[in-house]
A and B are shown apart, each in its own frame.
Chain A
């Protein structure tokens, strides 16, 4: 329950009042958690899903445009850059989870870049399951620490998908990847977005 304090500077407040203020303000601070990351979840989820489905389609139809699908990541990078610039201008508070999300997902980006760079060594049939492992691990950590259970459930589904992906070839792994990303990124991102929009409307 939120108390509507009109805060003065009374030195003789009771211990119970002190505890109420602490609880209220800690709850307020907790409400700032990770709301802004919903956009990136949905954006990158849709990009990876589209990439996987288009790659699958291009391979089975032997289409020549398949290398162009990598342009999706460039579009994602530009969209993320523009959004983060706009967020920086509006941001009046930084939660501790912003830092966690930034470091975990930047780390995943580096690991994915390195893995795809050494795809010849890792093997084409292993690259997508390995990528999914990184996705699953990052969502498991961020979902667990921020206690955002849709992400945690999505990461567990992602781990199950990895088991199936390791037992099939690159072509079909693309479909598994699309499904895993839908569970780990798109659905939790849309749920988060809906929750924060609802909260914003309620506050207004």
Chain B
């Protein structure tokens, strides 16, 4: 029987964010916006959902007197991503 896909990750933008962060140490909001081509509002909303699910950490600080938002994947996020990839492979018979 196939596992149900994680609803938090089974969304284009949230999946793109987690897939980027899993290969990086950390990334700023502007980097995620540039790579995902999402709008700032939508990206901000999805980052908040991922944070609430415990998949990412968001750290807000200042750099050169400008506010900066840094995102980092958590251990739970990595586990959820790995499970999601395995589940997808199951669906695609890979």
Interface residues of A (CB under 8 A from B): 4-11, 13, 15-19, 21-22, 24-26, 28-30, 32, 89, 92-96, 98-99
Contacts and interface: CB of A to CB of B under 8 A. Distances in A.
Contacts of B19: 21-22, 24-26, 29
B27 A93 contact: yes
A63 to B, nearest CB: 46
B: interface residue count bin: 20 to 34
Nearest to B9: A18
Nearest to B30: A92
Contacts of A17: 12
A28 B35 contact: yes
B13 A32 contact: no
Contact of B15 (A22, A29, A32, A89): A22
Contact of A96 (B23, B37, B63): B23
Can you list the 5 inter-chain pairs with the closest CB atoms, starting with the nearest? A29-B23, A25-B19, A94-B25, A92-B28, A15-B91
Contacts of A8: 12-13, 42
A7 B20 contact: no
B23 A21 contact: no
B7 A7 contact: no
Contacts of A30: 23
Chain B binding surface SS class: helix
Nearest to B14: A9
Contacts of A95: 23-25
A29 B15 CA distance: 14
Nearest to A99: B25
Contacts of A92: 27-28, 30-31
22 contacts: A5-B37, A10-B11, A13-B10, A13-B11, A18-B5, A18-B10, A18-B84, A22-B19, A22-B85, A25-B19, A25-B23, A25-B36, A29-B24, A30-B23, A89-B63, A89-B64, A93-B24, A93-B28, A95-B23, A96-B23, A96-B24, A96-B25
Contacts of B14: 9
B13 to A, nearest CB: 5
A9 B11 contact: yes
A15 to B, nearest CB: 4
B22 interface: yes
Contacts of B10: 11, 13, 18
B92 A16 contact: yes
